[in-house]
Structure 1
Amino acid sequence: MPLTLRLAVRDWDYLTPLALGDVSSPRLNLVIDRVGTLVSNVAKDEAHDAAEMSFSRYTQLRHDGDESIVGIPNFIMRGFRHRCVITTKNSPITELGQLKGKRIGVTGWRDSGNTWTRAALRREGVGVEDATWFAGRLTEAHPITDRLDGFGRPGRIEAAPGERPMVDLLRAGELDAVFTPFMPDGFYAEDSGLRHVLENYRGAEIDYFNEVGYVPGMHLIAFKADFVSEHPWVMDEISELVDESQRVWLSKRRKYADTTPWIIEELGRVSQDLPASWNASGFAVNEKMIADFAEELHAQGILPKLLTPADLFPLHKRGE
């Protein structure tokens, strides 16, 4: 009888073949729960056996010696971050290095994406101590929550003034730039008054890839450790299913290319600009990216101890 596994993930389009059953395993009865908000800790969630999880929060648990969850080096969400820095259309800032000494808003201090964005700035000479940071909600529609997560420092890292939306602060000239993983509604409208800091962010991201050799990973799949202990084969099985779902999805996008007027051109450009392995799963192929992320968490003061890739993925470390 197939093993039932309850998996919570965001509604990623490339998982559609898996969600519909076009990609399946005779060993698994996979129940996919599409969620808008990530499960913070699947070990404490009775509704799921595995879940999409922030790489940063997963790393924090491993750092703290919490072995109630175990992750697989299959990064279900990846993305470059140069595009995620926005400013106003009348701002003179056009390069990341120009943010030194400026006021920068972030949607969450320890978030994986914002950690990678700060890493991109650090490569341009702008470290945590080189700017003034404010954590807050992006727009009025977003909830007021604690986005400092214990990392606040008066005069350096503070909550957004009066919990005002950061887009409003940006437009009012009280912030010079904002980090955001998702563009605010209306961002691309002619009258939005907002733009990416980097006009040619794609070029910057290609250069970044050529320098570091990877597309940054933000989210992975984490399992209840007890579940994996009882069914040790299940992690590799899920990883293979996710990979196959992505292959099937990409094949169909190339065939049924009328989803948007030019999606076929975009898929072609990705093939030209990046190797086919840009989103490959597995420990060895992602080891450098994992190590760099751990280094950033340490350098940015989020984790006191520097972890190794083997610390983070003990069941997948090289040679085992």
Structure 2
Amino acid sequence: MFNKLFDQSIDIKKRMFAVLAAAGLVSNNLGFAVNIAVYGVNAITAACGLCTLIIGAAGFFGLKTGKVRLPLGIILGLIIAFEFPMLFLAYGASTFPYMLLGLFTIIAFCDEKRRGVLFSAAMVYDGVIIGLRYALCDNIPRYDSSAYFGTGLSAFLISAAAMFYCLSIIIRQYEEKNKELKKLADELGEINKLDAQTGIYNRSYLTEYLNELVRGEKKFCAALIDLDNFSSINEKYGLPFGDMVITEFAGIINNAAGSSGIAARYGGQKFMIVCLGDVMRTEDMLENVSKEYAAFSVSEKQEEFTFSAGIEEYSHGVEISRIFRNAEEKLARAKVKGKNRVVSK
């Protein structure tokens, strides 16, 4: 039951009602016991016992049926309009913490549309009760100071414990919701970094990643890759197979990049591998990619597919846009030279 208070799949109103019902039932039972201990069995004690039974029944009904609006109104109306004012009229200032507890329940458990109106009405109502108490003080039975002390101390402790319990649960629910929202935001942020078709990083994140490397003054190479004769592959084997080639190649370069950098889709059949290292290391990585890509194509269509690439090594102070342009120029030279090659100078 306790864990359900933090189950985000359960409507927040139902979870808040569970908090109120539990706090109300426990607090009233304690108050009822204190009344018997201090004042014995009298009309006020009997009224407190009746309130406890009504709160318990309303709480059970709301939790059992999931229809919490009416039970919530019954519990709030009972404690704010009847029970707490009754105790104040009977015992005076010693029960004043209960009046504050009633106002707290309006703030904590009423929805935003009604909160302000109900709080204002309760303030006026409590003011009338306070005035009535002092207007009728001569006609109200008096008790000895020890009784008032016991009542005041118990009212303070019960009210403080109820507010602590309610606020602790509410704060934890808030924190759990924040964790869920943060997790969702992180997941959405990660999704926004990825290319929808291939699942590797997109060009937007590629630029962000390169900017981070530049700010950190890290040594890296950017290899721009274009699949050779890709339009012919589409024409010969069909678009679905062409999509398969794109996805498979993306997986190959993503595995090749590993922890040494990232792989991203640059656009269409173009990709970029960012390698944290020098040109030689990047060339070795592309050599392995070439072998895996050829092995894939031979197993699928008994012919070797190739790619061309241009490698640009980062120099201090060079802008990202210049890195892209230089890599594109080297890729273009690789194409002019006959494809299936890597140009780095």
Q: Does TM, scored on the shorter chain, surpass 0.5?
A: no
Structure richer in strand, relative to its length: 1
Query: Considering only CA atoms, is the larger Rg found in Structure 1 or Structure 2?
Result: 2
User: Which protein has greater RCO, CA pairs closer than 8 Å, 6+ apart?
Assistant: 1
State the TM-score, normalizing by the size of structure 1: 0.21
